[in-house]
Amino acid sequence: TQDAHTKKKLKELVALAHSSLVKKIARSLARRSNDPVEDIVQVGSIGLLKAIDLFDPSQGTSFKTYATYLITGEIRHYLRDKVSAIRAPREIKELSYRVHKLTLELAEKLGEAPTNEEIARELQMPSEKIAEVRNLERRTTAISFDTSAFGESEDNFKFEDKIADTNYTELIARFENRLVLDEAIEKLDEESRTVINLSFFEELNQREISEKLGISQMQVSRKIKKALNKLFEIITEKGMSRYEL
């Protein structure tokens, strides 16, 4: 349906705007692992997708804070699972690896974290078995919040770190997409541009935005939704729809 398509595109837009947050956290935590940074970024992206799906602005937390929590938790869970898997039975280790690999593939394909049922269908086994593997992993690991993820400001995050291990094609594509996003935002009316900037770039929660603009949180919510819908319309207009956002 059109609504589902619009929701998917808006989710991709929010994910694009916060991709640098995933990379920043992934590079910080990758220092504790021998895994390639690209793999850890993929894992962190699952956390970002979960944050987009589960975020509740009425709780008074900014999206960036909430996303950082879930991205960090997803990566730390993955890194600790690898350690605990060494002590797990061979069957569980092998299945855990297959589940993790498929989770990344399906998340990229679906645009959201896959369910146990979706993974089970692909692996042709009972969903209860997938749940068992995941629950066992969770019992053997402690997911904790790594405050060090907040300790590195964007200013201290060197440009050299941003482009490390990134090929030129990927780098150029990333900047092209961001330029498209910036161009689209500039085409918004002043009110829509303001709420988009306050919500997604200044990372204010709806209560803070309502106080800043002197309107109710309900009005803020409606204005953000209206602005995102308009932003999607602009991006999908002829001449901009060729870009994958």
- CB count in 10 Å sphere of residue 121: 14
pLDDT in tens, 37-89: 888 999 999 999 888 888 877 777 778 888 888 998 888 888 876 655 545 56
Cα(151)–Cα(136) distance, rounded to whole angstroms? 32
Question: Tell me, what's the pLDDT at 215?
Answer: 92
With contact defined as beta carbons under 8 Å apart, do 135 and 81 qualify?
no
The domains located in the chain, with CATH, are 167-245 (1.10.10.10)
H-helix or E-strand containing 15? helix 2-17
Closest to 221 (Cα-Cα) out of 201, 190, 202, 198? 198
Which tokens is 203 given?
Answer: 């990372």
Buried/exposed 177-197: b ≥16 CB within 10 Å, e otherwise: beebbeebbeebeeebbbbbe
pLDDT in tens, 186-206: 888 999 889 888 887 777 788
Amino acid at 234: I
Cα(34)–Cα(12) distance, rounded to whole angstroms? 29
pTM of the predicted model as reported, rounded to 2 decimal places: 0.43
Closest to 29 (Cα-Cα) out of 18, 43, 15, 19? 43
pLDDT averaged over the chain? 72
Which tokens is 115 given?
Answer: 């369910």
